[in-house]
Amino acid sequence: MQITFRQFLPGDGETFRRLNEQWIAKYFEIEEKDRLTLNDPVKYILRPGGHIYFATLDDEIVGCCALIATGANSYEVAKMAVDESVRNHGIGKALLAHVVAEARELGARKLTLETNSKLMNAIHVYESLGFKHIDPWRVEPSPYKRADVFMERHL
């Protein structure tokens, strides 16, 4: 099992949307902000200075994660998803470790993320890679109703 990583390429939008809709629809409802971002990741993530990374397994895309530019030297880790068929094999953790390394190369000093307390496996992965819980009052109000856990990591 060979996991490799690559950046978003033209034509990857549908795969990015599918991977994210898979997990969001399973646990929550797809919100307006999800629709906007997933239907046009170039406009909402890439053009404003963000990046999207994919994990591939035997040349098939099986996971994705975005870095959304949030300010000077800071990014939000967002839209992280691993295909249901290959979960629990360390792909998410490997992908996030790759994204953290890429953020460091980009000069990021801080990464933030929002998640939900139902997603215990994801929270465990974030914690294992050095993300710390922060109080909700320390962050801007989330555009997502489901967000109830907020984390950050200084690089």
Looking at residue 11, its pLDDT comes to: 95
Residue 87 included in any domain? yes
Total structural domains within the chain: 1
Domain assignment present for residue 121? The answer is no
Terminal C-alpha separation, the chain: 30
Q: Tell me, yes or no, whether 45 lies in a domain.
A: yes
* CATH label of the domain that carries residue 19: 3.40.630.30
Report the 3 state secondary structure along 53-122.
EEEEECCEEEEEEEEEEEECCEEEEEEEEECHHHCCCCHHHHHHHHHHHHHHHCCCCEEEEEECCCCHHH
How far apart CA 92 and CA 72 sit, in angstroms, is: 27
Place of tokens 């890439």: 46
pLDDT in tens, 89-108: 899 999 999 999 999 999 99
Helix (H) or strand (E) holding 25: helix 13-27
Name the pTM for this structure: 0.94
* 143 vs 91, residue with greater confidence: 91
Q: What is the pLDDT of residue 110?
A: 97
pLDDT higher than 80, residue 141: no
- Give the residue-averaged pLDDT of 17-43: 96
pLDDT range class, residue 81, cuts 50, 70, 90: very high
Q: Is the pLDDT of residue 139 over 80?
A: no
Domain-located, residue 125: no
Range of the domain at 87: 3-109
Q: Is residue 144 part of a domain?
A: no
On the question of pLDDT at 140 being above 90, the answer is no
Q: Does residue 145 lie in a domain region?
A: no
Give me the pLDDT at residue 84, please.
Answer: 92
| Domain presence at residue 115 | no
Q: Specify if 56 maps to a domain.
A: yes
Split at pLDDT 50, 70, 90, the class of 142 is confident
